[in-house]
Each structure stands twice: as C-alpha cells, then as structure tokens.
C-alpha cells in the first residue's frame, strides 16, 4: 500500500539463493558481512523479546503473616544458635577434644541444613515453574496464539526431558511444532500425545487411593483410625501426583502444594457441587443399598477422589483444554462396584 500512514519502511525484497552475497546458515547468532544477506531457515517463528517476568507476576499485598514468620523464625534460629554456642562452650570447658567433637558435629548439622534448604528451594522453584507454565499454556490456548503455545510446549518438553517414558510423546509433539498449527490446536495435541499417558496413570493413582480409603473406612474399628488413614492416604496421593507430573516437591513445597489443593477444592467445590450433585446423590443412593459401613466407605472414597482431582488440576503443568479433566462421576462407578465386591466377599 502506498499510503504513508501504513508505511513501515520495510519494502518487499527477494534474495536469490544462488547469489554470491546470500549465505544460508543454521547458526542464528552469526551476523552478516557488509552487503551480505544471511538466511536462517526456520521451522518456527522466532520469539519476540518478552516482557519481564515481574509484569505478569501478581503483586502480593503487604503480608503481616510473613513478618510474623520472619520474626519468629529468626528468634527460634537465634535461640538454637545460642543453645549450640553455649553447649560447645560448656564442652570446651570440660575437655578440648569434647569441644572439637561438638564443633565438628555442629558443622555437619549446618551442612545438612544447607543441603535441605537448597533442596527445598529447588522444589519450590520447580513448582513455581509448573504453575507459570500452566498459566502460559492456558493463555496461549485462550488466545489461540501459536507463538506462545510453541514457547510453552518447548518448556513442557524440557520439563519431561529426563523421563524416558515420555520419549514417544515428546518426539511426536516436536514434530507437530515444526508444522504451522494454531495455538489452541497445538495445546490439544500436546495434551493428546504427551500428557495422556500421564493422565491415565494419575487417574489410576487417584482410583487406587480412593478404593483404599473406602476399604479402610469400612473395616476400621475406630473413627480416629479412619481419619488418620484418610489424611495419610490423601497426602500420599498428592505427593505421588506431583512427582508423576514432574513436580518432585520438598517438604515446604509439599505444604504449599497441599495448601493449593485445599484452595482449589474450596474454589471449585462450589461449582463442582452443581454438576456432581446428581451423581453424588445417585452415589448415596447406591451406597445406601450397600451396608451402612460400606456406604460410608464409598462416600469417603469419593471425597478422596475429589481431593485427587483437585491435586491433578494443581500438579498438571498444562490446563485441561480439550476436555474438563476427570470428574467424580468417572470414579464413582468403579468405586461402588469394588465396594459391592468387598461386601460379597464378606458375606461369603
């Protein structure tokens, strides 16, 4: 268009590939000489410079809880340090070698602490990365942005690089990314080719844990035992799911993850109540036909499945785009039938 307002200053140009001044290269960093044109054949569009991360990070308000934690934590550390210090001083006043032994032990403890802290931080970083990756892929799918989707899926492939069981999926996905495919479709393909085996495994984990919970509830003698078993089972499920999807959280990371799961449950609980109400009522109806104990077991199992679903949503590095992910009703049928089997066995 010859209109000045649309002029970008970039005129159409063409370079003959057999020209002496035209060079093909695979190295994107090399720079062309004077009057020379350098061509990099690209399968993918080059990335634009991105905005700094801080722009997209939600700003947290003033956190008094954090201050409290910092203050208390500092005090506790000081107290511990003081105690160790006085202990070592006391040891030195007795005999020198006892004192040195104390110092050596303190050093080992310090090293251990350092290692622990590093691992915790690494775990937290990994969880953070997964959270950001999920956001990125979600926006890419929402905006149908191929460029962003490609960038996100590259990170996803990198996340699973040292997982041999995903080799086939990674290869297929890398193949798709070389084609011209839209953002949303790419994310769907990633879901189908790379994540679906993991999703299947996650479903199995949640199913088994739900079954175990329902069984334990049915046979346990005391309510307290139930409670502990359910708590333990749920925490274990969250941990396994996180490891499955590449999170490998440390203790702190795990606590954070558990918090996320609870928040997710609280947020989606209201919405899920609507769509799963019918199935739950139905479930109770079925459960009522079982004996009271087994029925209770099924209900507990369903609750566990619910927590497992929330955990999947929190741990999975990509959102569910082509479908809504597993729902409670997916688990219910199998849970009820396994409980019924249990009852039959008992009767025999």
Complex with another protein: residue 176 or 212, whichever CB lies closer: 176
Q: How far is the CB of 251 from another protein (least distance, A)?
A: 41
Q: Which is nearer to another protein, 18 or 347 (CB)?
A: 18
190's CB contacts (< 8 A; 6+ apart) are 137, 153, 156, 173, 318
Gyration radius (Cα) of the chain, Å: 28
| Cβ-Cβ contacts under 8 Å for 175 (sequence gap 6 or more) | none
Q: Of 9 and 65, which CB lies nearer to another protein in the complex structure?
A: 9
User: Phi/psi of residue 49, each to 5°?
Assistant: -60, 135
| Closer Cβ to another protein, 41 or 60, answer by number | 41
Least distance to another protein from the beta carbon of 332, Å? 19
- From 314, 340, 335, select the one nearest 325 (Cα to Cα): 314
Write down how long the chain is.
348
In the complex with another protein, the residue whose CB is nearer, 26 or 347, is 26
Any residues with CB less than 8 A from the CB of 92 and at least 6 apart, and which? Answer: 98, 99, 102
List residues near another protein by CB under 8 A.
1-3, 5-8, 10-18, 22, 28, 31-32, 35-43, 45-46, 146-147, 176, 179-182, 185, 188-189, 192
From CA 335, how far away is CA 212, in angstroms rounded? 10
CB distance 172 to 192 below 8 Å: no
The number of angstroms, rounded, from the C-alpha of 49 to the middle of its chain's C-alpha atoms is 26
Nearer to another protein, 50 or 236 (CB): 50
Question: Cβ of residue 28: shortest distance to another protein, in angstroms?
Answer: 8
CB of 206 to another protein, least distance (A): 24
Cross-strand pairs, 127: none
DSSP 58: P
Q: Specify the DSSP element, H or E, that contains 147.
A: helix 146-159
Measured CA to CA, the distance from residue 209 to residue 202 in angstroms comes to 11
Q: Which is nearer to another protein, 180 or 223 (CB)?
A: 180
φ and ψ at residue 24, rounded to 5 degrees? -95, 140
Q: Which is nearer to another protein, 40 or 101 (CB)?
A: 40
CB of 13 to another protein, least distance (A): 5
State how far the Cα of 284 lies from the Cα of 307, in Å rounded to an integer: 18
Q: Could you give the count of Cα atoms lying within 13 Å of 161 in the half-sphere of its Cβ?
A: 5
CB of 73 or CB of 175, closer to another protein: 175
Is residue 300 a contact partner of residue 287, using CB atoms and an 8 Å limit? no
């Amino acid at each position: 268009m010859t209109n000045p307002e649309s002029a970008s200053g970039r005129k159409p140009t063409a370079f003959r590939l057999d020209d002496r001044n035209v060079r093909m290269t695979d190295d994107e960093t090399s720079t062309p000489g004077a009057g020379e044109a350098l061509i990099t054949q690209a399968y993918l569009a080059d990335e634009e410079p991105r905005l700094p991360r801080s722009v997209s990070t939600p700003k947290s308000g003033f956190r008094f809880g954090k201050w409290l934690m910092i203050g208390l934590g500092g005090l506790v550390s000081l107290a511990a340090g003081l105690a160790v210090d006085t202990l070592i001083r006391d040891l030195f006043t007795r005999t020198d070698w006892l004192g040195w032994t104390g110092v050596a032990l303190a050093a080992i403890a310090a090293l251990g602490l350092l290692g622990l802290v590093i691992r915790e931080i690494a775990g937290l970083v990994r969880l953070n990365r997964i959270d950001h990756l999920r956001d990125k892929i979600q926006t890419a799918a929402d905006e149908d942005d191929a460029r962003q989707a490609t960038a996100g899926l590259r990170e996803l492939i990198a996340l699973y690089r040292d997982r041999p069981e995903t080799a086939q999926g990674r290869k297929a996905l890398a193949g798709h990314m070389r084609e011209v495919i839209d953002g949303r479709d790419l994310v769907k393909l990633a879901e189908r080719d790379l994540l679906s085996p993991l999703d299947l495994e996650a479903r199995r984990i949640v199913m088994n844990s739900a079954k175990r919970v329902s069984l334990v509830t049915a046979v346990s003698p005391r309510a307290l035992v139930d409670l502990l078993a359910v708590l333990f089972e749920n925490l274990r499920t969250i941990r396994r799911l996180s490891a499955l999807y590449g999170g490998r959280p440390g203790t702190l990371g795990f606590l954070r993850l558990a918090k996320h799961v609870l928040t997710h449950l609280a947020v989606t609980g209201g919405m899920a109540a609507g769509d799963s109400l019918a199935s739950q009522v139905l479930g109770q109806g079925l459960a009522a036909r079982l004996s009271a104990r087994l029925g209770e077991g099924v209900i507990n199992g369903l609750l566990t499945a619910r927590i497992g679903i929330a955990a999947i949503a929190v741990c999975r590095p990509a959102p569910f785009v082509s479908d809504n992910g597993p729902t409670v009703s997916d688990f219910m049928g199998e849970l009820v039938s396994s409980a019924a089997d249990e009852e039959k066995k008992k009767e025999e």
